Structure 1
Amino acid sequence: MLDTEPLAAQAWGEAAAGLGVGFDDALAMRMVGCNFVDCSALVRRHYGADYPVEALLGRWHAAYDAIVEREGYALKPGLLELLDWLEAAGIPKAVATSTRRARAETKLQQKLLLPRFSALVGGDEIARGKPAPDIFLEAAARIGMPPSACLVLEDSEPGVRGALAAGTMAIMVPDLKPPPPALRAMLTLVLPNLHAVHAHLAALPV
């Protein structure tokens, strides 16, 4: 919903530079969609025990907040029109994000989006992050729907895998990283943006 992936990737680079260490751009792409616990594990596996992981994570928050303050962030094109259509159709909506709940609430409130969702599940509210299904199962439960009746819109590979593992339907709307062939084969639909999602859903028979 929020166009924050490029900002997050930029923040990893700035945080590492502030510590005087390198950071692999390809690693930043692998971290898209992961919560902080899983990001930490990925960094440790990639660089080894001597890499200053905890210091990096601390600096990332400061770097990210500074980038947002300096540059702001935009809504994904087509989001508001899609939300309007879903609300007119009486379809409940939930947010299932790897971001910690308090931070996610702040982001959504800043863009006046928080009241438009029936539920929000943050990455710090579940035991296992994406690609485990936990966050999607919890989101479905909070809006009182079986997972099989839910459609997940995701922009990351861990998110898509988690949604499918939860038994939901899933449409991928890629951001920085296109789906690899193996993931593409698992998906019914990959669409370029939320305008296309809106058009696809509106064309479905009632």
Structure 2
Amino acid sequence: MTAVAPLPFRPQAVLFDMDGLMLDSERAILDCLAQASAEQGHDLPYSLWLQMVGGSEAVCRGLLHQHLDPEPAQTLLDRAHALYEVVVDAGVPHRPGIVELLDWLQARGIPRAVATSTKRPLALRKLRAAGLLERFDAVCTSSDVAHPKPAPDIYLLAASTLGVDPLRCLVLEDSPTGVRAALAAGMTPVQVPDMLHPDEEVRGLRHRIVTSLGEAQRLLEARLATADPA
């Protein structure tokens, strides 16, 4: 296995996005949107749904309004939400490596928080159904802040809730929107891309990009294996 260069600091907390990072929900959400669109006879490109990855409800609604009037857009969203409710109740599958990483962090006493653009009631339902809710010391959602990602609010709230300096927080994100939120909060993001592969602009942010949660764990293992306590 290729050696992994350690992180530049020893994190005092790890903050997790939810959809697309811990749960394989982005595909499910986009499939529900595409199905609702097809059912209602709209000819909308799949690229539109991809633009919504990592965005808040308001951002997604705004993108949809570029293609549909408010009334048909709302009808589409209502149908997509109904389809997604079925998926949530069945339990959204984990992304590979999440349980192993949470086990590893918990064994070392490293605090963990969720910072998700999902509204609180749905976020708690999804985490509970996936068996992950009790694995976190805090859950922060878009219901809890004035400004969603890419604003830093949700990550600053998570750090404050854990009582950890933002500069000592490691953030795990799958989307460019979340990466920008973490950077705006003064934190160190590691991106684990799912449906959106980083383009030149995103790579220009000069953050770490890994291929899996397992690789993200190896970054942490390499840091904690050093004698440097900083």
The interval holding the TM-score normalised by the smaller chain is over 0.9
Match of 1:33 in 2: 54
Query: What code does the residue aligned with 1:149 have?
Result: R
Q: TM-score, normalised by structure 1?
A: 0.92
User: Using a 3 Å threshold, how does the CA distance of structure 1 residues 17 and 69 change in structure 2: closer, same or farther?
Assistant: farther
Superposition pairs for residues 1-206 of structure 1, below 5 Å?
A: 1-44=22-65, 46-47=66-67, 49=69, 52-68=72-88, 72-204=91-223, 205=226, 206=229
Distance 2:68 2:75 in 1: 14
5+ residue gaps in structure 1?
A: none
Distance 1:141 1:22 in 2: 44
RMSD: 1.6
Deviates more, 1:12-21 or 1:113-122: 12-21
Kept in 2: contact 1:96–1:135 (CA 8 A):
yes
Higher relative contact order (CA 8 A, sep 6+): 2
Kept in 2: contact 1:120–1:139 (CA 8 A):
yes
Distance 2:129 2:139 in 1: 15
Question: Per-residue CA shift, 1:125-149, capped at 9, x if unaligned?
Answer: 2222111111111111111112111
Alpha-carbon shift at residue 115 of structure 1 (Å): 1.1
5+ residue gaps in structure 2?
A: 1-21
Distance 2:192 2:112 in 1: 17
Q: TM-score, normalised by structure 2?
A: 0.83
User: Using a 3 Å threshold, how does the CA distance of structure 1 residues 50 and 69 change in structure 2: closer, same or farther?
Assistant: closer
Kept in 2: contact 1:12–1:23 (CA 8 A):
no
SS for the counterpart of 1:186 is: coil
